[in-house]
Amino acid sequence: MLGKLMKYELKATARWFLPLYCGIIIFAVFSKISTTVINLEEIKHLSSDNLFIQMIVNTAMLVSAFLYAFIIITTIVMTFVIAIRRFYKNLLSDEGYLMFTLPVSSHKLLLSKFLTTMIWYVCSIVVIMISLFILFISKEFFGALLIFPEAISQLLDEFSKVPSLMIFSILTLIDTFISFPFLILMIYVSIAIGHTRHNHKVLYSFGTFLGLNIIISIISNIISFIFFLPYTNLFFSFSPVSDYTFDNTPINRVDNLAVIDATFNSLNSLLIFSLIFSVALSVAFYFVTNYILSKKLNLE
Amino acid sequence: MDNNVSSNLQTLLECKGITKKYGPFTALNFTNLKIAKGRIIGLLGPNGSGKTTLIKLITGLLTPNSGEIKINGLVVGTETKKMVSYLPERTYLNSWMKVCDIIDFFADFYSDFSKERAYSMLSKLNINPKDKLKTMSKGTKEKVQLILVMSRNADLYILDEPIAGVDPAARDYILKTIISNYSENATIIICTHLISDIEQILDDFIFIQNGSLVMASSVDEVREVQGKSVDALFREVFKC
């Protein structure tokens, strides 16, 4: 049943995403062709003599760069907007009368929405990457690709000197990827809580979202503060300008790499904590949303 | 007191002391009610009497604060949703789909759905399955919804205001459709204000007011014993 729900969810959302993705790719191909043409020797020669043509070319480049940025931002915003719209419209407005009388559990309804959003999230990233690839494809680019494995091994080599830095990079990457599902679940739970009210549902949803944001940022700030307290000395010792701390005691400058390693080690523990915090909260958001959908449903 | 509609028949639906509150307001406070298989029942009451709340509890859209509702011996949940075919008072169809897409949707989720029956009813009402719902009038959408609901072989059909939005000619067709499209063992609960329009097809009726059961009886009994129509009785009981 989850598969069937997702099939219809993908169908319902594809009519937004597929045209958008086509637009991105067509735009990337179009820009690539036009920049290639502009960079042809003959054209360059032509435009270098003529200020007017030069101006037009430059304006066109600028406009297309802006357009590209706009399309990318639209894609990211759309991924959010459609996730919110589908949750709200398909489950909590009139369409909810159909969805919640289907012989499926609220878990499956919620999961189908969430997983479909994640699929589009990954697709959006992939499509943006493909468009960047198209835009930057060139002889030099392929040359860079050839030395890519070597660069990677060099990077790993560097990382091996400061293992904590590598872990830090990986953790930061995971943190970045997890922030999207976290945010989506936070939006779901806010809308669900807002909908238990009898009036001003949208207002209460917004309020809940803001409230949750404030509470979470206060908690995480307090935790970071407590966490960093014992390390303050370490950061002072990391100062590149002075060899002395505030109270003029000379800093015992140990091997710089070791200091960096220690710093990132402490940052890593904080990141791990923040990851666990995010995952735990996401799970809590999911279950609260499901509880509301199954027990406190309040369709108009 | 047990308010059993035709208690000598097999029970399909059973409500046991259910209450439903919205905040401090009690929307429904129900004593026991049993509904038998194979009946057409009118659920009647003035505005805000709790009809829709009762229906939402039976369909699982709401959870009661206390008490329980059983359909075929099962507490309302995913399993009972397979047995209940529900027509809400509002249009729940999304506008971007075509009629045939929604038929596929229903066939996918309800194993008791008959595509054949749906298409034959569509053609009788001159509705093109390739039409998008966006382009349809409110009345046509309501007809499509009724077709979807009546194309299932459910044990219990719940129709909330099935005829309110359509013209009298279509009303007759819809009532005919309702009667001709359900099996002998199935029960239909119809909730409406237009009592005189549906009275001819009703077996039993339930009066509710302020979330409580006022009266539950068979139509014949009212006609024979009291010599009144349900419509007249309704006007008498709920006199303002």
pLDDT 10s digits, B153-185: 999 999 998 877 777 777 777 778 778 777 778
Local confidence band at A249 (pLDDT 50, 70, 90 cut-offs): low
pLDDT 10s digits, A213-246: 999 999 988 888 887 776 666 555 555 555 555 5
Is residue A248 over pLDDT 70? no
The residue written with tokens 């549902």 in the block is: A201
Q: What pLDDT shows up at residue A10?
A: 95
Inter-chain touch B63–A1, beta carbons under 8 Å: no
Q: What is the CA radius of gyration of chain A?
A: 26
Tell me how far CA of residue A177 lies from CA of A126, A281, B24, B50, B119, in angstroms: 13, 15, 44, 47, 47
pLDDT 10s digits, A9-19: 999 999 999 99
Q: What pLDDT shows up at residue B8?
A: 55
Please state, for a pLDDT cut of 90, what percent of chain A lies above it. 46
Token pair of B108, please?
Answer: 């996918």
Lowest mean pLDDT: which of B2-6, B112-116, B120-124, B205-209? B2-6
A5 min Cα distance to partner chain B (Å): 9
Q: What pLDDT shows up at residue A193?
A: 95
Q: What pLDDT shows up at residue A235?
A: 57
Residue of A102, A110, A291, A298 for testing the chain B interface, max B β-carbons within 10 Å? A102
**B88: which chain A residues are within 8 Å (Cβ-Cβ)?**
97
- Taking one residue from A and the other from B, the number of pairs with CB-CB distance under 8 angstroms is 54
Where are the strands (E) in chain A, listed by range?
none
Show the domains of chain B with their CATH numbers. Answer: 3-237 (3.40.50.300)
Q: Which amino acid is at B170?
A: A
CA distance A105 to A107: 5
pLDDT 10s digits, A65-82: 888 889 889 998 999 999
The whole-chain average pLDDT of chain B stands at 87
Is residue A292 over pLDDT 60? yes
**B94: which chain A residues are within 8 Å (Cβ-Cβ)?**
12, 90, 95
Residue of B95, B105, B113 for testing the chain A interface, max A β-carbons within 10 Å? B105
Lowest mean pLDDT: which of A91-105, A155-169, A186-200? A155-169
Contacts 24+ apart (CB under 8 A), B118-126: B118/B147, B118/B148, B118/B151, B121/B147, B121/B150, B121/B151, B121/B177, B121/B181, B122/B147, B124/B173, B125/B170, B125/B173
Lowest mean pLDDT: which of A47-61, A83-97, A225-239, B52-66? A225-239
The whole-chain average pLDDT of chain A stands at 85
**B63: which chain A residues are within 8 Å (Cβ-Cβ)?**
294-297
Across B101-133, b (16+ Cβ under 10 Å) vs e yields bbbebbbebbeebbeeebbebbeeeebeeeeeb
* A20, A75 Cβ separation under 8 angstroms: yes
Is residue A41 over pLDDT 60? yes
Q: State the number of CA atoms in the 13 A half-sphere of B4 facing the CB.
A: 11
* B66, B58 Cβ separation under 8 angstroms: no
Q: What pLDDT shows up at residue A168?
A: 87
Is residue A87 over pLDDT 50? yes
Predicted-complex ipTM score: 0.90
Is residue A185 over pLDDT 80? yes
User: Helix A139-146 and helix A148-161: axis angle, to 10°?
Assistant: 50
Q: Which amino acid is at A39?
A: N
Q: Which residues pair with B187 in a beta bridge?
A: B156
Lowest mean pLDDT: which of A37-51, A172-186, B82-96? A37-51
CB nearest B91 (choices: A12, A94, A96): A94
